[in-house]
Amino acid sequence: MNYCMAQHGTNACDEMKAPLQDTTPVDFDLHHTRAFDGHSCHYNSSWSTFGLVLSHRASGFIEDASGSAPQAIPRLSTHNMLFFFALANAPRATNDTCDNIHNCRLLFDIVWGCLTTIFACTWVSVHPNVPPRPPLPPKGGSWAKRAWWKLSVASMPLWRRLKLMLVAVIAPEIMAGFAARQFVVAHKFSKEYDSSLTHGYFFCMGGFVDVDGHPIVTYEQIERAGFARAILAVPETTIQDKSKGDALSKGVALFQGLWFITQCIARTAQGLPLTELEVATLAFAAVNVFIWALWWHKPLDVQEPIVIPLSALEPEQQGSPIVSPSTRKTSARFLNLLGASYDASEFDPEQVVEAVPTFWFSSAADDDFGWRGTTIANMGEFLVGAIFGAIHCAAWNAHFPTTVEKVLWRAGAIVVAVAPLLAAAGMAATIPSLSTSRGQVQRLGQTQHLGQGTIWLGVFGVGVYMAARMVLIVLPLVGLRALLPQIFVDVDWSLYIPHVS
């Protein structure tokens, strides 16, 4: 027979459903909240009940709910006490309800865990190129101008990281592709000049500049007298000293994503559901593993380049005026974002004194340098994008507050999973084979002009993909308004820890 006991203020009990009988099985309803005469009765743990029973064992009395004279109860024998002790320490059986605060999680725990993991995947793991140097402070002027200059200098790195974070949130596979292309260039550089991967990354991220401030990022510059020797003479420790992250800090950020993946796998193994927000975060964490692996040796958040005491200009070019960088078209920026290299009309390091573009990895002037590798990297970018969308399909039969939200989720997951595969197929159809050189592909693009229909089809496809991504970003947040009770049941990690029961 069920009964409920709880301590409230100075009263020993607020309610008793039935007298305790010596031969009646006891079923404690411990983990619910009920109101009696404007008061709440909380049942928090089996330990409280066990202690309450022991506290009345000596007297053998307990008050009823009306506060009248105490009623006699039988004294507990030793084996009954042992039974209660075993009951209090019994492991929780896996079920679909959350009836113990020690084995439950709150909505705040779910949201906080997801947001910190997404932050680690879109902010901490991003390794930007060397940023442009801050403008010189104004000479003279009012204090307002000096304050504005300080604010501008302080906000430049933040704004640069925010742009990268926005790209990583909307299309994390683009960041994975960017990391893969830089890995290919860095690996080729280290193999060509028998240097470390760190030197290769520092080369393709614009980390070396000449005495005039021109970034040394092309093979034509390196091939000039003395540059290769001077770059290789820079110790790897000097480059690593400019990095804001070491193996420990990077490992902690990577562990955040791996731990979240482990939690999701454990919940699935125990038959516990995941929220749509957790499924979306799981997709970010999976892509983040590829990014960390590719950028592990790339210096993080380098603010100042290393000056090579040579001039990257030819003798006849020295002393010539610096040409301001050309304004790149939006279409060119978009293609660079997707993996196209930069030609001289978009960025010429010998004509400008500024940092490399945000998504710089190689110059088109290097022609066949790393072409096959970057092509494979672009294919890998599309494959990672398909994996990112496929993970969202894991919530195909998940609980949604409305049918419309379920249909939108399924449609968005399909688009995000299929669109990268279609893009990869189109890229494979454009390039006859991996043996085709970069120059041949450029000439092929010049002779085979795309029709207006094809261009508009591509624009339409990008628009549909962006809309699908926004759906998969918004729905996990609005879906938090109506969650199943099983969502709040925490993982029972004792099932995976060897122990004697």
Contacts of 29 (CB under 8 A, 6+ apart): 2, 3, 4, 43
Give yes or no for residue 194 having a pLDDT over 60: yes
Rounded distance, CA 320 to CA 314, Å? 10
Q: Report the percent of the chain where pLDDT is more than 90.
A: 37
Write out 202-230 in H/E/C secondary structure. HHHCCCEECCCCCECCCHHHHCCCCHHHH
Is the model's pLDDT at 365 over the cut of 50?
yes
Q: Give yes or no for residue 85 having a pLDDT over 80.
A: no
Q: Which residue has the tokens 């998969």?
A: 472
Query: What pLDDT score was predicted for residue 445?
Result: 44
Amino acid at 89: N
What's the gap between Cα 263 and its chain centre? 15
109 band by pLDDT with thresholds 50, 70 and 90: very high
218-229: average pLDDT: 86
What region does 47 belong to: left with phi over 0, alpha with psi -120 to 50, or beta? alpha
Q: What is the largest CA-CA distance in the chain?
A: 109
Nearest to 474 by CA among 387, 405, 386, 389: 405
Q: What is the pLDDT of residue 444?
A: 43
22 secondary structure, DSSP code = T
What does the alpha-carbon distance between residue 336 and residue 150 come to, in Å, rounded to a whole number?
31
Lowest mean pLDDT among 132-146, 324-338, 460-474: 324-338
* pLDDT digit string, tens, across residues 449-477: 445 566 677 778 888 999 999 999 999 99
pLDDT band at 323 (very low <50, low <70, confident <90, very high): very low
436 — pLDDT class (breaks 50, 70, 90): very low
Residue 22, pLDDT > 50, answer no
The confidence score (pLDDT) of residue 373 equals: 67
Mean pLDDT check: name the lowest of 218-227, 297-306, 434-443: 434-443
Least trusted range by pLDDT, from 130-134, 227-231, 455-459:
455-459
Identify the band that residue 333 occupies on the pLDDT scale cut at 50, 70 and 90: confident
How high is the pLDDT of residue 12?
Answer: 40
pLDDT of residue 494: 76
pLDDT (tens digit per residue) in 245-266: 888 888 888 899 999 999 999 9
Cα–Cα distances in Å, from 109 out to 46, 47, 112, 167, 491?
Answer: 24, 25, 5, 26, 13
DSSP 138-184: PSS--HHHHHHHHHHHHHHHHHHHHHHHHHHHH-HHHHHHHHHHHHH
205 phi and psi, to 5 degrees?
-100, 10
Residue 313 phi, psi (nearest 5): -90, 150
- pLDDT surpasses 50 at 360: yes
Those residues with Cβ within 8 angstroms of residue 323's Cβ, 6 or more apart along the chain or in another chain: 348, 351, 352
What percentage of the chain reaches a pLDDT higher than 70?
67
| DSSP secondary structure string for all residues of 268-313 | HHTT----HHHHHHHHHHHHHHHHHHHSTTSPSS--SPEEPSS--S
| Pair of tokens at residue 49 | 């009940």
How many Å apart are CA 105 and CA 118, to the nearest integer? 19
- What does the pLDDT look like over 369-419, one tens digit per residue? 545 667 788 888 999 999 999 999 999 999 999 999 999 999 999 999 999
**Distance from C-alpha of 209 to C-alpha of 306, rounded to nearest angstrom:** 6
Instruction: Give the Cβ contact number of residue 180 at 10 Å.
Output: 25
Residues 328, 273 contacting (CB under 8 angstroms): no
Closest CA to 63 of 9, 128, 105: 9
- Residues 6 or more apart whose CB falls under 8 angstroms from that of 467 comprise none
CA distance 291 to 173: 9
Taking the C-alpha atoms of residue 356 and residue 370, their distance in angstroms, rounded to an integer, is 19
State the average pLDDT over residues 351-366: 80
Question: For the chain, what percentages of helix, strand and coil (3-state, to nearest 5) are there?
Answer: 55, 5, 40
Confidence band of 322 (pLDDT split at 50, 70, 90): very low
pLDDT at 20 over 70: no
**pLDDT value, residue 434:** 47
Q: Tell me how far apart the alpha carbons of residues 101 and 105 are, in angstroms, rounded to a whole number.
A: 8
The residue-averaged pLDDT of 63-71 equals: 45
Least confident of 142-151, 283-292, 384-393: 142-151
Q: Rounded mean pLDDT of 312-321?
A: 54
Locate 175 and state its tokens: 């960041």
Do 312 and 221 touch, CB atoms closer than 8 A? yes
pLDDT reading at 5 higher than 70: no
| Residue 325 burial (CB count, 10 A) | 14
273 neighbors 304 (Cβ within 8 angstroms)? no
Q: Minimum mean pLDDT among 35-39, 437-441, 442-446: which range?
A: 35-39
Rounded CA separation 271/277 (Å): 18
Higher pLDDT, 419 or 66: 419
Q: Which of 119-128, 134-143, 376-385, 460-469 has the lowest mean pLDDT?
A: 134-143
Instruction: Provide the CB-side half-sphere exposure for 54 (13 A, CA).
Output: 13
pLDDT at 54: 39
